[in-house]
Structure formats: structure tokens, C-alpha cells
Chain A
Amino acid sequence: MRQPQPLGLAIRVFPQSARSRRKRPRLKRWRRPHQLLAFDCEAQPDTALALTFGCYRYYEHGVCLEEGLFYGDDLPEADRSVLADYVKDQVADTDPHRGVAQLRLLSRRAFLEKLYTVACKTRGLVVGFNLPFDLSRLAIGFGTARGGRFSGGFSLLLWEYQDERGDWHIDKYRPRIVIKHIDSKRALKGLTATKDPDYVDLIPDGSKTGKPDRSKKFRGHLLDLRTLAFVLTDRGHTLASACKTFGVEHSKLAVEQHGIVTPDYIDYNRRDVLATAELAFKALEEYDRFNVPLQETQAYSPASLGKAHLRKAGVLPILTRLPGFSKQYLGYATTTFFGGRTSAHIRKVAVPVVYTDFLSMYPTVNAVMGLWDYLIAQEIEVVPNCTAEIEEFLRTITLETLFNPKTWLRFPAFVRLAPNGDVLPTRAKYSVESNDYQVGLNHLYADDCEEGLWFALPDVIASVLLTGRIPKIIDAFRIVPRGQLPRLHTIKLRGTVTIDPRSQDLFRVIIEERKRLAFNAALSVDERKRLDKALKVLANATSYGIFAEMLREESEQKVGVTCYGLDATPFSCRVTNPEEPGEYCFPPLATLITAGARLMLAMLERCVTDLGGTYAMEDTDSMAIVATEYGGHIECPGGPYRKDGKPAIRALSWKQVEEIAELFRRLSPYSTDAIRGSILKIEDDNLDATTEQQRQLWCLAISAKRYALFVRDSSGEPTLLRRGVNNNEDRYSEHGLGHLLNPTNPESDDRSWIAQVWLNIVRRSLGISTKPLGFEKRVAVGRITVSSPRVLNSLGALNVGKTYAQQIKPFNFILSCHVAKLGHPVGVNPESFQLIAPYETDPRQWEQMHWIDQYSETAKPYRISTTAPHGSRTVARIKSYGDVLREYEYHPEAKCVDSNGAPCSKQTVGLLGRRHVAIDSISYIGKESNRLEEVEDQSLQAPCDVYTEYPDPRRDEWATKVLPMLKTMPLRELMERTGLPRSTLQAIRAGRRPHPKNATLLSRLLVR
């Protein structure tokens, strides 16, 4: 046995905030207003991105009644003349009978009057694509939103009034618009309350009586189509791609040059607004097909849609209907939560593979374990003290029994065990460099950990399968569904697929119906495609994420939280960003689903290794199994076999992989008339796009989520799998590079440069010559959005003395770059140092510009250099594309070890193994996957920005390390060496928390 390395583990905790104010969505149906205002702004292509002009269209009942242009306050007279001449020459594209024929030209203020009328008085839909950006162009100022769910967001000032002297002032009788950025696809938006509102403004939406109600705030109906398109397709879209997806008749046009007002440019903008309006009608039509009691302006993700379906079916959230469900057991279950299995198993060696993928992994696992019964159960009973029963069950576990679906029905259970080399999921900071939590499947040891750790039963079974031994079980409990909820209703998915929740498993039916669509000749091809997409989105949205949903609050003050974790009694702590369980959050289900998925991959791993084979990488629901047409040995450092005297691995034959896939057919929960094959699919990527014959795929993996699949021609030349070229999808990951600007043309969204990078990495691994990329020496710069006042505040010095139009505004783009090793300027804290600068598309300017540390309050300017040997007082040595790409290519798979048992380093190549990890300490954290985009673009560096830590005084360093050692030291010696009185030391040894100063003193003493 290898010597386990002590590591601090982080586990999840179930928090209950003392300040829970989140409102649950109402089940009330909403009547959409008949009035719709669509608009779009064009901005100067400079750092301020100030409004040049824009266009709006006003609709009632889908008929366009008014169209007009508006212009920014600072627009030069010459440009205004172009607009004025344009409106003279053109007529409005409105309804010939009822619409206004004249194309209007308004000032920004005049347009804002119209916007105010529609948004606040009419309460119509205000529609845009990327609405926060457009609203920010129209604003005259901004502040920080305070309190409630908008806390930490922007508060935009839009409306002014003119006094008798002609001066303009903020109109306090009109609302502000508050916007809280969630990610690039979503933002919370709303109107604030106003001073002395009119009687009619206090009447709630949908009131039958017309009586005012001061308790209800009208937040406006601000609809961002980027969000709605995401809700309906589970994909991020541009206006052009959304128009294509929803079949918009007048889609976006192209324009040669942005920023210069010409008739062509005005045509382009008018067309954008027409496309936006048509997209709104198409997307709303699609949304209406779901027929759910959820206002489209309140739908922020496919999960919102999924939850609305459950509500409609009468499936109440478990913790709402069972408020007395034991928090202690919820805490135990939450500690067992881990994400999917992702890792590179063969690092930086290109190997031939067959790429396999589980059919809709989470819905499938959900169905196989029969978790729908829990969702519709009247009661969920906790059956404690099942240790003997679980041990007995574990003794029966073999690969064969796991292929019996009945076995899976017994999985909803949780086990506390004292791990001793068992292969279990562990969340730890495996790399000092990256300093982030990763989940690895490792040999875990906790010899001196008396109380042990909780794990979901599928994880324990996976360990039994992979190690062949049953762990030492300390405690166990099962959850069992009892009865069925009354008032469950039959629902129709998208008006087509009928589901009776009393007798049908929603997740299973959705997947089956999706597959049946292929044979449904009654539907048009387009309709089939849309329904297929909608069902896929729904299945994924309802089968997992909603049970794990934790909502992180932004707050400036610490809030008291009661936390349920490993111990039978909760602990309390105060944190600045408390989390609150989402509406349908029920950690036992969430953790069973991901654990079930990990077990599926463990079974696949076992099937492969039983035949002597191995795999190149795995990613949640997929695995690239090393295989060739006829099998054989392949050279690979660290491999257990020998080929030509060198270490090698065994490749399975394609037939063997097919046979393995076939084994999983038995686990399919689906009706055979819908899904004939196995749930483990040999992906279409393995088939030649033209001949549809199986082709030899190759895989090169660097680390988790960094891999590429490719094919090789007869001379060995590699070609990546690329969408529209030789495959249906791109099969090279952008993870870790996606945030960088296109180095060949920073203004272009073309990401093909990443394919170029990957091809060079692949060629180097194959020992084939590579061509220089040509951009290695350029500054590696990313584009980020000014998403919060905090980011903008750091740029405050650049805005001083400028009008709002000329300032860097909310939702503008800014540049960010990454400091190289030893490149930080002298005297800064590298832990929280991030250089940002106003948006500039000319790379030649980047090294001349002033950059500012996002985390600094002084706004000290820095210059950047890619050639300086290290940072100086005013210059930061930052990474070039070459630096970034080298790091990318050598990024270690820190959670694994090489063939000698040493932690995987940058230089490690070949077959990786599992680490042996001893529990050094345990800390509690919240959801670690918050603000993923900002983590990816490295605009967030401080861990507290990403996840919440819940300090447990019973498990901190003082309680677990210092105090036990203090107790072993003679009191006299302690008194002599610290100078503290006897009574103080006695009280401390008896358990009283010392003053922080004394705690530091004692800790230092023990370290010495």
C-alpha cells in the first residue's frame, strides 16, 4: 500500500439562513400583455460604447403600430442629419391600416418617455436581445442595488425632468431599473418602487377588482430574449443563432462597419429590431406550447420550466410538503454530494479509442433507481440503523447483480463508514498552484477519524466493485417513499405528450417520447426537431439540477446560518454569502443521482479492466475506451503490459466494446418499442460521416475536461473531429481557453483558433512536426463584462469628470489579462490581483494602456509586458498566448498519480492512477460551482467570491489540532512559555475558546 498523503477535505453542508426572504413562485396563471415594445441600441465602437442611435417597434396584438429611431445625446450634428434625412425618405414598417405611417425620429429622452409609458403605465412587455446592455446605453447614471435579490446588482437611472430654468434632474417619481447579472445568458431585472405612485399604478397585475394594493410591487415585464432562448433550448445564443433556431423570417443582416451612421447601418439596426420582435413572437409561441403557470419574464433557465411542469402536475416540492423532514439526515445526505466523474486517465499520449456515452445519464439513473416514487410520495420515511442490512446487501454485490435493475431499486440509502483505502469521491485542493477544489475518485483513509464520513450507497457499491472489499460501516440509513401525493394531475408536455404522474415516471416517459419522435410521421420535420429539443431540455432540467439547487445570496453583512453536516447536532456560524436551498432542493435525491452516474462509470470501468483494457478519459456520462478494430497492445508509459520492451496498455477490440455496451442493455428502464438499444451508446462520432462505417478514433487527454478526439489518415496525419467538417459536433474542449479573445482578430467570435491550438498539441504528442501558430507572442487577453458595481468601481478613476455617455458603463466589455509567474508588480497580493482595462480591440494599444487591479481601491495604473523578466513596481509581466497555451498543454491532472505513485505533475505522461489520500481536516463549504463563467475567465480569483465556507468551530484547526496537543502538554510548561495565567489555560483546556491573540500565541508555541 502506498503512503497516503494527508489532505484537507471539503464537504458540502445543508445551510438554513436566519434571513430567509425568498419568495416562492406563485402558481397563478399570468395573462401576457398585448402590448410589446422591442428596441435595440447601436453603440460607438470605443471604450465607452456610448449610444449612437437605436430603433424601436411598438406592437399591439402582434400588429406593429409604430416604428421609430432615436439617437444619443452626444451624437454629432452630421450623424443626426443622416438620421433626419433617412426618416424623411423612408416610411415606417407598420400595419398599413392601423399603424403610424411616419417613421419617427426621437431624442433619447423622448424615446425614454415611450419606454416609460409602455413599461410602467401600459405594463407591456419590453423586449430586447441582451436587454441589460441596451438599457445601460439609455441610462444617465447608475448606482448599486441594495437589499433583496437584486443586492449587489446595478440600479440604472433613466428618467429625468426639466425644471423651469431648463436644468435636468433625476425624476424621483419614476422608478429605476435594477439588474443583477447571473451569467452571460441571464440577469434578474426589475423596476424599483416609486415615490407617491398614482392610484392606478398600485393596482396589481391581473386584479379582478381594480383595487390598489400597496403590498404588491410592480416589477415590470422586462423580457430578455437571450434568456428566453436559453430557457427553451438550454444553449447560449446570439441574435442570429436564435433567429435561425426559432425560424424567424427576417433574420439578422450583416453590416460592413459599426459606429458610422449611414443609411445601410440604419437599415441594419431596423432589421435587428424587426428580427428581435419576430423572435419574441416565435419564442413566446414556443413557450406557450408548454402551457405552464410561469411568467416568461420569470423563467431564467430550463430548470424554471421543469419546475413549472412539476408544479402543474401537482408535484409539490418535497421540503415544502414535508417541512418536518429531519434536517439531521438532510445534512448527512448533503455531505455525500459530489459532481460527476471527470478525469484524464491516459495523459498526453494519443491512443486509439471508441467513444462511448450513456443515454441521458441523469434521467436514466433517476429512472433506474425509481426516484420518481420519492417525488410523488406522500411521506419519505427515514429508516435509521440499517448497518447490518446494508452490509448484507454489499456482500451480494457483483458486476452481475449490478446489471439487474431490481438491485438499483435498493440504492436509496446512505452509509457512514471509516474509509481505509476504499475508492471514494473526495473533494480536496490537490494542487497548491490551482488552489481550487476538485473531486477525485481516490483511495481514502481515515484511520483516526472515529465518526467516519457519510457516502451515498451507490458510491460505496462502486468502491466494493473497484476494490473487491466491503468498507467498515459505522452507520447507515435508508429513505423509503410511502403513499402517493393527492391531487396529482395529468399534464401534456408541449401540448403533445400526455403524462399521468400517478402511474408514469416523468423522466422515463420524456426520454421514451423523445426517441419515439423519430418514427412519428404525423409531425413535420421542423416540429419534430423542436419537440425533440424541448423534451431533451425538460428531461435534463427536471431530472437532477433542481434537487441540488442552492441559491447564493450576495450580502455585505454577515448573516447567521444553522448548518447541518456530519454531526447529529447542527452548528451555527455567520457568513457573508449564505445559501438557501432552491424550491425543489432535496439533497438526498441529488446526491443519489450523481452517485448513480458515478456507479455507471465504475461499472463500465470494471467491464473494461476485467478484459485487461483501460480508458483514455471519462467525463460524467462518457468514456473513451482504448480500443482498435482487432485489439492489441499499445505503447504507453506506465502501462502494465510490455510491447517491444516498453510499457504498454491493452486495447480492446471494437467487438469487445460493443459487447460491453450490450451488457448495459439490461439496465435500460425504457420501453423497448421506444429505445431498442443499450443505454451505453457507441457514439455517432465513431462513424465515418460519409460511409457511416466505424472509423478509428483517437483521443488525447491532458486533464479533466481537456481532451480532443481526432482521426488519422493513412499517413498518420491527425484531423480533429469538427462540426460540419467530419462530425456532427466539435470534439475538442474549449475549457480553459474559451474566455480568451481570438488572437488573430480580437473582434471576431470565430473560435477556430482553438482547434488550431489543439491540432498542434495533438501533433506534438504524435511526434509530428507542427507549424507555428503565429500568435504565441501576443498578449493573452480576455473580454469580460462589467457585471457588477464592484467591477466598475475599480474603474472609477477612469470615469471621473466624464459624462455618463463617455463613461465605462454597466454591461460594457472590458479587457482582462493574466499575470505570469513572478510577474506580479511589487507589493501586491497575488491572491487577489486581476488586471483589467477599458475595452480596446487594437492589440497594439494593449501594452501602451493603463491597466488597473480589479481588487484594489486605489486604482493605481499599471503597464503590462510579456517580455519583462518579472514584475516591477509599475509593470506587470503578463502571459502571452504562448505562455497560456504552454500552461494549458501541461496542466496537471492533480487528483491523480503517475505510475510511480507520485502526484501527477506537468511533466507526467502516460497511464495515471488513483491517489491515496488521508483525511487531514474537514471543512464545510457550499456549492462550489457558482459563477462558473467568471471563474473560467479568471475575473474571479478570491475563493470567497466563488463559494461560501461555513466554519464549524468543532472542526477547525483549533479544535482538531491545537487543543488536543495542548491537553498533552504539562500546564506548568504552558504557563512558563506563554505567560498566561493558570486559570485561563485551564479554562482553555476545558474547551473555552481563547481570545484570538491567545489562540495565535498558543498555536505558534505548538508549531515551534
Chain B
Amino acid sequence: MTTRRSNDPIAAGARHAKAQRRVGQDARCACGENRSQALIAGRERSICYECDSRRLGKTTMETHHIAGEANSPITVEVPANDHRAVLSEAQYEWPPSTLRNVDGSPLLRAAAALRSTVNFLELFTRWLTSITELLERLDSWLRKDGSVWWIDSPFEDWRLK
């Protein structure tokens, strides 16, 4: 289950379940990636899109239509796994009228731009959250023998004065 609020949790749950079924139960790439949308279905050994690209000597980045193809031709390069597991998944949550914008409504284009920004912020939030968690765990690991690790270290300048 994603921690993000979904407008249609039942449809989101079905997408997640289908993706999970396609790649098999407990599928996980050797790199640790276990988001089913980021794994390639039908492989003997589970592999994620980024590792597969790396294996083939290709770039691990994919182009993402930030506001949806119907709203803007602008694309950005994003890591393949996040593209599939986060950004594309997030666009499923958009109202279909905004994502498809059949007649090119300027207001819907603007809405799409804002929605894509929100999606990116969510992605950044996840990255930043994972970095903060890493820092906190590292700090606790360095203190495990009771030492104040930053004394006499190159990091001493960062301590609270």
C-alpha cells in the first residue's frame, strides 16, 4: 500500500495487485528494488528496469511527460524505477479529463502542470525522507559504543555551538 492518499483506492489497489501478480510473489531485484511496478514481468530472475538497462549498457533514466503527453510536450529525465513506480502511478490518480485533455483546455493544462509539480514534490519528499532516515540511523550506529563520534573528526564544525 502506498502511503499517499488515493482518490480511488480500489482502482489503485487493483493496479498494485496486478503488477505484483505479473512479477510473481515476493519478487525483488538483486539491487533490492521490490516495487512491483518497477520490476520487469516474465523474467526468470526478478530484475528492475534500471538494473536491466544497466545490464544492457543503456541509460537508467527514462523520459517522463511531466504534465502528461496531452498537456505538454515537456519531458524530464527521471530514474526508470521511479518513473514507473511513482510518477506514472501518480498520473493514474489524476482525473482522466485532466490527463487526456482532449480539447486542450488551458485551465486543465494549468491543472496538469500543478498536479505534476505536486507529484514531483511527493517524489522529492520520499527521497529527502529516506536521506533523513539514513542520517538518523547512521548517527545512532556511530553512537552504539557510547562515543561522541564527531569529536576530533572532520565533522566537528557541524556540531551545535
Contact = CB atoms under 8 A, between A and B. Distances in A.
Interface of A: 31, 33-35, 37, 58, 60-61, 63, 65-66, 97-100, 114, 117-118, 121-124, 200, 203, 206-211
B148 to A, nearest CB: 37
Contact of A207 (B6, B11, B21): B21
A33 B9 CA distance: 15
Contacts of A200: 18, 21-22
A60 B1 contact: yes
30 contacts: A35-B13, A37-B10, A58-B9, A60-B9, A65-B9, A66-B10, A97-B3, A97-B5, A98-B1, A98-B4, A98-B5, A98-B9, A99-B5, A100-B8, A100-B9, A117-B10, A121-B14, A121-B17, A122-B10, A122-B13, A122-B17, A122-B18, A123-B21, A203-B21, A206-B25, A207-B25, A210-B21, A210-B23, A210-B24, A210-B42
B9 A124 contact: no
Contact of A122 (B3, B4, B5, B14): B14
A258 B22 CA distance: 46
Contacts of A61: 1
A97 B27 CA distance: 28
A213 to B, nearest CB: 12
Nearest to B42: A210
A208 B5 contact: no
B53 interface: no
Nearest to A123: B17
A98 B10 contact: no
Contacts of B22: 200, 203, 210
A211 B42 contact: yes
Given A65-B6, A98-B5, A117 B11 contact: yes
Nearest to B26: A208
A34 B41 CA distance: 21
The 5 A-B residue pairs whose C-beta atoms are closest, nearest first, are A65-B9, A121-B14, A210-B24, A122-B17, A122-B14
Contact of B14 (A34, A117, A208): A117
B7 interface: yes
A124 B24 contact: no
Nearest to A96: B5
B25 A35 contact: no
B3 A98 contact: yes
B96 to A, nearest CB: 15
A65 to B, nearest CB: 4
B6 to A, nearest CB: 7
A809 B20 CA distance: 38
Contacts of A124: 13, 17
A798 B26 CA distance: 53
B9 A210 contact: no
Contact of A31 (B7, B18, B25): B25
Contacts of B6: 65, 98, 100
A65 B13 CA distance: 10
Contacts of B7: 100
Contacts of A98: 1, 3-6, 9
A200 B24 CA distance: 11
Contacts of A66: 8-10
Interface of B: 1, 3-11, 13-14, 17-18, 21-27, 41-42, 44
B25 A121 contact: no
Contacts of A35: 13, 17
Given A122-B13, A210-B24, 9 more contacts: A35-B13, A58-B9, A98-B5, A100-B7, A117-B10, A118-B10, A200-B18, A208-B25, A210-B22
Nearest to B2: A98
A207 to B, nearest CB: 6
B42 A121 contact: no
A121 B1 contact: no
Contacts of A203: 21-22
B25 A99 contact: no
A117 B42 CA distance: 23
A349 B14 CA distance: 67
Contacts of B3: 97-98
A261 to B, nearest CB: 25
Nearest to A98: B5
A210 B27 contact: yes
Contacts of A97: 3, 5
B14 A210 contact: no
Contacts of B18: 121-122, 200
A122 B15 CA distance: 7
A417 B151 CA distance: 97
Contacts of B24: 207-210
Contacts of B25: 31, 206-208
A33 B10 CA distance: 13
A207 B23 CA distance: 9
Contacts of A114: 10
Contacts of B44: 209
B154 to A, nearest CB: 40
Nearest to B11: A117
Contacts of B26: 208
Contacts of B21: 123, 200, 203, 207, 210
Contacts of B8: 66, 100
A33 B21 CA distance: 12
A273 to B, nearest CB: 15
B64 to A, nearest CB: 24
Contacts of A209: 24, 44
A118 B22 CA distance: 17
A382 B10 CA distance: 59
A316 B89 CA distance: 47
A34 B42 CA distance: 24
A472 to B, nearest CB: 65
Contacts of A60: 1, 9, 13
A42 B27 CA distance: 42
A63 B13 CA distance: 13
A195 B1 CA distance: 30
A124 to B, nearest CB: 7
Nearest to A207: B24
A99 B17 CA distance: 18
A728 to B, nearest CB: 46
Contacts of A63: 1
Contacts of B10: 37, 58, 66, 114, 117-118, 122
A65 B14 CA distance: 14
A757 B6 CA distance: 59
Contacts of A37: 10
A513 B63 CA distance: 65
A795 to B, nearest CB: 36
A204 to B, nearest CB: 9
Nearest to B41: A210
A66 B13 CA distance: 12
Contacts of B23: 210
Nearest to A64: B9
A99 B9 contact: yes
B13 A118 contact: yes
A636 B122 CA distance: 88
Contacts of A118: 10, 13-14
A950 to B, nearest CB: 46
Residue from A33, A97, A121, A124 having most chain B Cβ neighbours under 10 A: A121
A29 B17 CA distance: 19
Nearest to A60: B1
A37 to B, nearest CB: 8
A209 B44 CA distance: 7
